[in-house]
Amino acid sequence: MGKPHGRYELKHYINYADVVELKSRLPLVARSDENSVDGKGYRVKSLYFDNYNDKALMEKINGVNGREKFRLRLYNNDTSLIRLEKKSKKNGISYKESTTISEEECRRLLDGDFAVLKEKENDLCMELYTKMRFQQLRPKNIVDYWREAYVYPAGNVRITLDHDIRTSQNIHGFLRAGTVLVPIPGIYILEVKYNGFLPEIIRGVVSLSSRRVTAFSKYAAARII
């Protein structure tokens, strides 16, 4: 597995009026993400790992440099493509490593059979296996939300609007579309990801100067409600 490329990530609290405005402006300069359903966005469901000391949660709350978190992720409740991802952040730059696992492998993992990761013979799976064994990482919390995403080629920019955030501690509900999830009301997040530079046209459209950059984490919000 090659070394992941780092990206800058800016997150902003916004309100519903901002969402409406951005949805009218962004299509003028950026194209809708290819995963969008009829151009209206898509559902994201993530299952985050943490240990008995809530290491990932506390590192996020305390703003620790060099922090990391593991998660499983699927889209639109489609279990035919499940990603295992590791997100890490160091010196303000975010990194992501990713691989795929099957629904059956995911089911075994949720049932506590984490040796399935060792069988994959994949670097990322082996890292999670090791940390599940020696750091007691375990599946902890589901975070589910609606995402509208736009991309702009220069600077490899990706802009997302996340809302209708919901959560559950029923980890086995990750693979079930009908799982009951607890809503986290009133939260709208604008996120801008880019490589070396952020084009002025995008900076202008999202009006970053008028919005407060935040260290908001959907996982942390789901854990402390």
Torsion of CA 113, 76, 71, 208, to 10 degrees: 180
Percent of the chain with pLDDT over 70: 93
Choice among 39-43, 68-72, 143-147, 163-167 with the minimum mean pLDDT = 39-43
Q: Is residue 23 part of a domain?
A: yes
Q: Which uninterrupted H or E stretch holds 20?
A: helix 16-25
Q: Is residue 195 part of a domain?
A: yes
Range(s) of the domain holding residue 15: 8-224
Q: How far is CA 79 from CA 40, 76, 162, in A?
A: 21, 9, 21
Q: Is residue 40 part of a domain?
A: yes
Percent of the chain with pLDDT over 90: 69
pTM score of the predicted model: 0.91
Tell me what the mean pLDDT of segment 189-204 comes to.
93
Choice among 3-7, 91-95, 132-136, 181-185 with the minimum mean pLDDT = 3-7
Burial class (CB in 10 A: 0-12, 13-18, 19+), 49: buried
Which of the listed ranges 89-93, 141-145, 182-186 does the model predict with the highest average pLDDT? Answer: 141-145
Q: Is residue 26 part of a domain?
A: yes
Q: Is residue 138 part of a domain?
A: yes
Per-residue model confidence as pLDDT tens digits over 112-140? 999 999 999 899 999 999 999 999 999 99
Q: Is residue 1 part of a domain?
A: no
Per-residue model confidence as pLDDT tens digits over 61-73? 787 888 999 999 9
At residue 181, the pLDDT reads: 95
CA distance 42 to 19: 16
Q: Is residue 2 part of a domain?
A: no
Number of domains in the chain: 1
Tell me what the mean pLDDT of segment 3-30 comes to.
89
More confident residue, 197 or 220: 197
Length, in residues, of the chain: 225
Q: Is residue 3 part of a domain?
A: no
Residue 70: partners with Cβ closer than 8 Å, 6 or more residues away? 48, 49, 84, 85, 86, 87, 128, 131, 137
The enclosing domain of 200 has a CATH number of: 3.20.100.30
More confident residue, 167 or 62: 167
CA distance 187 to 189: 7
208, pLDDT greater than 60:
no
Amino acid at 189: I
Torsion of CA 173, 178, 182, 185, to 10 degrees: 130
The average confidence (pLDDT) of the chain is 90
51, pLDDT greater than 80:
yes
